[in-house]
Each structure stands twice: as C-alpha cells, then as structure tokens.
Amino acid sequence: MNVLTDNFAAFRDGFLKTVELTALSTLLALVLGILIAAFRVSPVPALRVFGTVWVTLLRNTPLVLLFLIVTLGLPALGLKGWDSFWLAVMALGCYTSAFICEAVRSGINTVSVGQAEAARSIGMTFSQTLGHIVLPQAARTAIPPVGSLIIALTKNSAIASGFDVMELGALQKELNADAGYNILVIFLWIAICYLIITLTLSGLFRLLENRMAVAR
C-alpha cells in the first residue's frame, strides 16, 4: 500500500500521461486509418497501391523498430525539435492506423452489393448512399475490432517508456530502481492502472455496440 501512497503524485502523472498518449494516438490512428481505408477502396489505382504498401509495411514492422525510425528518422528529414511524447504519438498512431484501416475496409466489404445497388436505383447520390446505407452498416461490423485495437494500443503505449516518455511503464522502471519497495507490489499497482483504462475502454465500446445494434 505504501508504494501508492508514497508516490501518489508520480502515479497520477504516469496514469494521466498514459491516458493522454492513448487518446492522442487513437485520434491519429483513426484519422489515418479511415483515410488509408478510403484510399484502399477508391477507384484510383495509385491510391490503392499506396494504401496497400502502407498497410503491408506497417503491419509487418515491429512497433519498437517504428519508434526507432521515428526518433532517428524525423531529425534526418530535417524536422527537429519534436519532443519524445509527440514522437511516441506518431509511432503508435501510424502503427495502429494500418490495423484500423483493415478493420474499416473489411467492415465496408461486408455490406452486400445489393444494398448499394438498391440505394442507387431509387436515385440516391453517392454521398447519400455512403452516409445513409453503407457506412452505418459498415460501422456496425467495424466497431468491435476497432475497440480491441484501441485496447491493444493502450497496452502498446507502454513501449514509449523505452523512449523517454514518463508514463506508467517508465514509472515502473523508476520505482524498481528505487528499491526498498516490493517489485511485485509495484507491478500490481501499475497493472491496476492499466486495467482501469482498458476496462473503461471495453465498457465504452460495449455501450456503443449496444446503441448501434439493430434487430436483423
């Protein structure tokens, strides 16, 4: 118990940093993922190729390597002065965007062609078909996998501790180095912090799923 009460401020900061990191990377991953998914289903071959290359490369690269590429590569592109937090957001966001893209794309692919054909035959425009017919049905299939991807992102955010971001994983390292505390107790409290975040997320997504569910 002492571990938590002695270091409450550090725990609070680490917890908030992890939440912030997760939230911002999720935002980036969703924006990029949906954009790349749009590329991959578009009628323009060049964009489709770009999307496929993006997904194949990022899905098969270890996240740690991606962190390295971002930390070493951005300065090489002449873009210096990003702090480690934003670099972590970029690495996590780009990595997860590849998976989100695939979830969104397979969501769109599960909508049967007849749905869109019916919509077009009653005279709906492209944006009406997309907004009223295809996307609502695609979202229903895509939301559960996107939820588990965001939970995975939360867990992956611990890797940022290896790259100078002071979040929960870094806190564990720091307290371990302090000694004097039981390592297992530190682990337990860190574990509880992560469980709070992941359980909240899965609760939120279950709520969303229930709200979007319709009897078919």
Does residue 52 bind other proteins (CB under 8 A)?
A: no
Classify residue 52 by burial, with Cβ atoms within 10 Å: 0-12, 13-18, 19+: middle
Q: Is 161 in the site for other proteins (CB under 8 A)?
A: yes
CB 171 within 8 A of CB 14: yes
Among 31, 191, 204, 207, binds other proteins (CB under 8 A): 191
Print the binding letters for residues 133-152 with other proteins: x by CB under 8 A, - otherwise. Answer: -x------------------
Distances (CA, A) of 33 to 38, 84, 113, 124, 142: 9, 23, 23, 27, 12
With beta carbons less than 8 A apart as the criterion, state whether 25 and 86 touch.
Answer: no
**19 counts as binding other proteins under rule CB under 8 A:** no
* Nearest distance, CB of residue 119 and other proteins, angstroms: 10
**From candidates 4, 10, 35, 111, binder to other proteins by CB under 8 A:** 111
Q: How far is CA 145 from CA 5, 18, 42, 89, 150, in A?
A: 37, 22, 22, 21, 9
User: Any contact of residue 32 with other proteins (CB under 8 A)?
Assistant: no
CB-based burial label for 213 (10 Å; 0-12, 13-18, 19+): exposed
Minimal distance, residue 25 CB to other proteins, in Å: 14
Q: Residue numbers of the site for other proteins (CB under 8 A)?
A: 41-47, 50, 56-57, 59-65, 68-69, 72-73, 75-78, 80, 108-109, 111-113, 115-117, 120, 126, 129-130, 134, 154-159, 161-162, 168-169, 172-173, 176, 183-184, 187, 190-191, 194-195, 198-199
